[in-house]
Amino acid sequence: MALVESSTEGHRSTPLIRWIKSILKTLGTLAITMLGLLFVTFIIGRVMPIDPVLAIVGERASQSTYDAVYQQLGLDKPLLVQFGHYLWNVLHGDFGNSLLNARPVSEDIARVFPATLELATLGVLIGIFLGVPLGVIAAVKRGAWIDQVARVVALVGYSMPIFWLGLMGLLVFYGILGWVGGPGRLDIFYEDLVPIRTGLILVDSAIARDWDVFRNALSHIILPAALLGYYSLAYISRMTRSFMLEQLSAEYVITARVKGLSERQVIWRHAFKNIRVQLITVIALSYANLLEGSVLTEIIFSWPGIGSYITTALLSADMNAVLGGTVVIGLIFICLNIFSDLLYRFFDPRSK
Amino acid sequence: MNAFNRLLAGAALGLALAVTSTSAMAETPPNMLVIANRIDDITTLDPAESFEFAGSDVSRNVYQKLVNFDPLDLDAGYQPDVAESWDVSEDGKSITFKIREGLTFHSGNPVTAEDVQFSLRRAIVLNKTPAFILTQLGFTPENVEQTIVADGNTLTITTDKSYATSFVLNCLTATIGGIVEKKTVMEHDKDGDLGNEWLKTNTAGSGAYSLVSWKPNESVTLKSNPDFYLGAPAMERVVVRHVQESASQRLLLERGDIDVARNLNPEDVAGVSSVAGVKILGELKGRLMYVALNQKHPELSKPQVRQAFKYLVDYEGMRDSFLKGQYTIHQNFLPQTYLGASDENPFSFNVEKAKALLDEAGVSGLEIEVGVREAQERIEIAQALQYALGQVGITMNITVGTAKQILARYRARELDVYLGEWGPDYPDPQTNAGTFAYNPDNSDGANATGLLAWRNSWDTGGLTEKTAAAAVENDTVKRADMYNEIQAEFRETSPFVVMFQQIEQSALRENVSNFSTGQAITSASYWQVTK
């Protein structure tokens, strides 16, 4: 929410001091939130009835091997000491190594997060560009056939299991029609052809001007992105519709109409302008949800993203990887919050 | 409305552009093998540490061993590999291997007896999980300098007892027997870890393939070694892609984007078997599905109760329904194709007989807990068993958990009943005899968590001694008889209800020849594959 200075002292402060204060406050909140998040995740990870040692040494290990790894992981120390040690390392930029694949967690995340980012961004763009107009039109034509269609589209989006829809999509568009690429981010022949700069294949291939790779990547991403886009579309269009209905029944809209403004101006210039702020929250939430990684979509489409990474790590008791992933997702939520806060200030004159 | 129309049109156009790669059936290049498999179990590529299925596949193709299996003739047993020949000393404790000349590592350096010495000693000193395969032969970190010794072109290993030569050599065919290049590995030694950290994600072998990349949960890419002593492999590049879902694997195979799908469920196997251009390869694997009864439980430890459970499994019903094609009935601890394996399967589903046995034991109104990991077929087996037990008045509560959760409790001897799988560690009968029928100290303090008999608190009686005796019997025929005898007693008395042996069904494009996942005794190999 917009920060509103209310103290008398606030009125006396210069804009610079207020700005610094506001930044400090935001950073403070960020730090406390992150600390809390880390602490809770860490404790849950340690008290879970999963044995991280067993995850590393395997079922057949002898007791001496087991004990050696147990000590190596520092599990013999008190929980708080373990957490302190972990925190110290994190503050030094070290998330530790994945217990399972022995690589630095930060390296793993740098590899899997762009895959999710690319997919979620495309997904949310589809959701916005289709969902917002659909919601607006459904509100304007309330009760008409387009409203009914929008309702069914949203209902199907809410209720259809993504797993089923994903598989059917693959079967039809990849298996039968051959219109899109199959599971995975690229066909195998195109892998490792362009140098990794951002980890976003569409961007990397565009930078390298390798349009074959770009087309191939696009043919692979379009189906899962459309699927995710569909789900966010369902949410965004329903929310847009209800925000718009509220505005359209407001007096200023009637006034605008009475003044003789065209319907387009009434809807887009007046009513829509007033729902932008609320819409930002909805879109930010939608985006954050997608960025968490849609585990099922990632599994069906063999998409090596952060959702399946954290899930695999969690099921294998790879707590370093889980904590690293949690920090990233926590940061995303916080950043999106800050970002939407900034947009609020931009769009809502009252918060200036 | 206009805006909406424009938007829809734009979206449709975007979609159409996106799918410009509309293609006919794809086909992988003729010199490339593309496999879909679940590879999320790979935790390390170091042969001294690797102990998972997908990791063993990589190792088998990247590292040579002293002796190895020919993928085109697995029944022939171990064959010379890095060792050209070997001699056994008179007392049967020492084996001297003559190292083959002219072998080179992927780096170009020659493979020497010293590299072999380093590799085996390293595996023992590191003492990672699979080290027991070697240390059970009497090697210890302290004695390796005397027991594993290179001399010029030969390497001599000396065991603590006169073990069956077949036992020792079979152990050396396991992943842990992989020969690494000393020079490269030691260049990456960190704090005396003998290059373990580095070898987890890199390779230094002399096998048919070298590692290009391993992206966890994503793919493993190998490239062929043109100097491989058996000839350059036809498949110059092998990509194993992690595809979790059976349905996704099937689609990829049907579209021709992959050559082999290794994890199809029975429905998808049935589905693709009728597709033109696809064939099914069924191989007996070593994995056994079994139920174990904790002998700490006062009722479950009664001999009649143990027997009764063996009559309460609907073996045929399950094989012919949900397990269709993926398992065969097998009631012995040695998988078929192993030395000493038995095909005696005396138990069948017989509720009346089970009831009579339970009455005889005076058991009624029993309530027990079974631990099962969350794998579809295991849960279904547990449910079938639950139903059958219900018919004789036993209530069985099913606890489903992740592999780690359930295993932790199983290893701590906490479960009443465990339902799960067991796969052999190396292709010698001792691997399973040594865990199912061997338990020298049944006390809690022994903490022998690696032994299944111990996990179920089962004092095996005389079977422990018989198992130990079979391991040192040098007459192979006699040795096989001994295992047969042990299994006959085991079937009747043990608290293990061995039910099924796995059949791995891979689906292949028709043009793929000679592909083998290694049957029950080893892992997948690619160098013999042609298209």
Q: Look up residue B363 and give its amino acid.
A: V
Confidence of residue B52 (pLDDT cuts 50, 70, 90): confident
CATH number of B32-232: 3.40.190.10
Select the residue of B1, B44, B217 nearest A137 (Cβ to Cβ).
B1
The residues, any chain, with a CB within 8 Å of residue A78's CB and separated by 6 or more, are: none
Q: Does B236 touch chain A (CB under 8 A)?
A: no
**Mean of per-residue pLDDT scores for chain A:** 84
Q: d(Cα A251, Cα B319) in Å, to the nearest integer?
A: 72
Q: CA-CA distance, B383 to B185, in Å (whole number)?
A: 49
Question: In whole angstroms, how large is the CA radius of gyration of chain A?
Answer: 24
Tens of pLDDT, residues A121-166: 999 999 999 999 999 989 888 888 888 888 888 888 878 888 888 9
User: Which is more confident, B7 or B465?
Assistant: B465
- List the single range of B12-16, B75-79, B477-481, B504-508 with lowest mean pLDDT: B12-16
CB neighbours of residue B281 within 10 Å: 15
The overall average pLDDT reported for chain B is: 90
Nearest neighbour of A302 by CB, restricted to B11, B243, B450 = B243
Distance CA(B56)–CA(B68), nearest Å, equals 13
Residue B493 has pLDDT above 90, yes or no: yes
Q: Which residue has the higher pLDDT, A229 or B408?
A: A229
Q: How confident is the model at residue A352 (pLDDT cuts 50, 70, 90)?
A: low
Residue A59's pLDDT is 67
Which residues of A are less than 8 Å from B434 in CB distance? none
| Beta bridge mates, A104 | A97
| DSSP for residue B110 | B
Q: What is the mean pLDDT of the segment spanning B124-142?
A: 92
Question: What's the whole-number mean pLDDT along residues B279-308?
Answer: 95
**How far, in Å, CA of A288 to CA of A337, rounded?**
9
Out of A50, A219, A299, the one facing B19 most closely (by C-beta) is A219
Residues 398-427 of B with CB under 8 A from A: 401-405, 407-408, 411, 425
What tokens appear for A103 in the block? Answer: 């690589």
- pLDDT tens per residue, range B105-120: 999 999 999 999 999 9
- Please tell me the predicted confidence (pLDDT) of residue B25: 62
pTM, entire model: 0.82
Q: What is the pLDDT of residue A31?
A: 84
Query: CA of A64: which chain B residue's CA is closest?
Result: B127
Taking residues B234-260, what's their average pLDDT?
A: 92
A66 touches chain B (CB under 8 A): yes
When pLDDT is averaged across residues A209-224 and rounded to a whole number, the result is 92
**Chain B positions in Cβ-Cβ contact with residue A317 (cut-off 8 Å):** 404
Q: What is the mean pLDDT of residues B32-39?
A: 93
CB A282 within 8 A of CB A165: no
Mutate to test the interface with A, among B402, B431, B452 (most CBs of A within 10 A): B402
Count of H-run helices and E-run strands, chain A: 16, 0
Which domains are delineated in chain A?
A: 13-91 (no CATH), 107-351 (1.10.3720.10)
Confidence class of residue A320 from pLDDT cuts 50, 70 and 90? confident
CA-CA distance, B441 to A201, in Å (whole number)? 57
Between chain A and chain B, the number of residue pairs with CB atoms below 8 A apart is 168
3-state helix, strand, coil in chain A (%, to 5): 75, 0, 25
- Beta-bridged to residue B513, according to DSSP, are B530
Query: Which among B7, B242, B248 has the least Cβ separation from residue A133?
Result: B7
Q: How confident is the model at residue B17 (pLDDT cuts 50, 70, 90)?
A: very low
In angstroms, what separates the C-alpha of A54 from chain B's closest C-alpha? Answer: 7
Q: How confident is the model at residue B8 (pLDDT cuts 50, 70, 90)?
A: very low
pLDDT of res. A93: 80
**A75 has a chain B CB within 8 A of its CB:** no
Residue A49's pLDDT is 67
Residues of A in contact with B39 (CB under 8 A): none
Q: How far does B250 lie from chain A, in Å, by closest CA?
A: 9
B432: left (phi over 0), alpha (psi -120 to 50) or beta: alpha
The Cα–Cα gap between B125 and B315 comes to: 44
Within an 8 Å CB–CB cutoff, is residue A330 touching chain B? no
Which pLDDT does position B374 carry in this prediction? Answer: 82
* Chain A residues within 8 A of B52 when measuring between CB atoms: 58
pLDDT band at A12 (very low <50, low <70, confident <90, very high): low
Q: What's the rounded mean pLDDT across residues B228-240? A: 95
Torsion angle of C-alpha atoms A345, A330, A238, A270, degrees rounded to 10: 10
User: What is residue B335's DSSP assignment?
Assistant: P
pLDDT tens by residue, B260-270: 999 998 889 99
Facing residue for B408 by CB, picked from A54, A175, A177: A54
Q: Which of A54, A57, A60, A201 to mutate to test the interface with B (most CBs of B within 10 A)?
A: A60
> For residue B496, is pLDDT > 60?
yes
Domain B32-232 matches domain B285-502 at the CATH topology level: no
Could you read off the pLDDT of A278-307 as tens digits, one per residue?
898 899 888 988 887 678 888 889 898 998
The residue extents of the domains of chain B are 32-232, 285-502
Q: What is the DSSP string of B255-290?
A: HTS-SEE----HHHHHHHHTSTTEEEEEEEEEEEEE
SS3 label, residue B481: helix
B404: nearest CA in chain A?
A50
> What is the model's pLDDT at position A5?
40
pLDDT score, position B362: 92
Residues in A closer than 8 angstroms to B44, CB to CB, are 101-102
Model confidence band, residue A332 (pLDDT cutoffs 50, 70, 90): confident
Residue B7 has pLDDT above 60, yes or no: no
- Residue by residue, DSSP assigns A209-259 as T-HHHHHHHHHHHHHHHHHHHHHHHHHHHHHHHHHHHHHHTSHHHHHHHHT
φ, ψ of residue A3 to 5 degrees: the values are: -85, 125
Query: What does the alpha-carbon distance between residue B253 and residue B280 come to, in Å, rounded to a whole number?
Result: 12
Beta partners for residue B497, in sequence order: B291
Q: What is the ipTM of this complex?
A: 0.77
- The arrangement of secondary structure in B285-502, i.e. its CATH architecture, is Roll (3.10)
Residues 132-161 on B with a CB inside 8 Å of A are 132
A contacts of B404 (beta carbons < 8 Å): 50-51, 54-55, 315-317
User: Averaged over A263-277, what is the pLDDT?
Assistant: 84
pLDDT value of residue B349: 96
- Strands in B181-271 per DSSP E: 209-215, 219-224, 237-242, 260-261
B-chain CB neighbours of A299 within 8 Å are 244-245
What are the residues facing B214 on neighbouring strands? B220
Question: What is the model's pLDDT at position A351?
Answer: 60
- At A11 the pLDDT is 52
With CA atoms as reference, report the closest residue to B326 among B287, B271, B274: B287
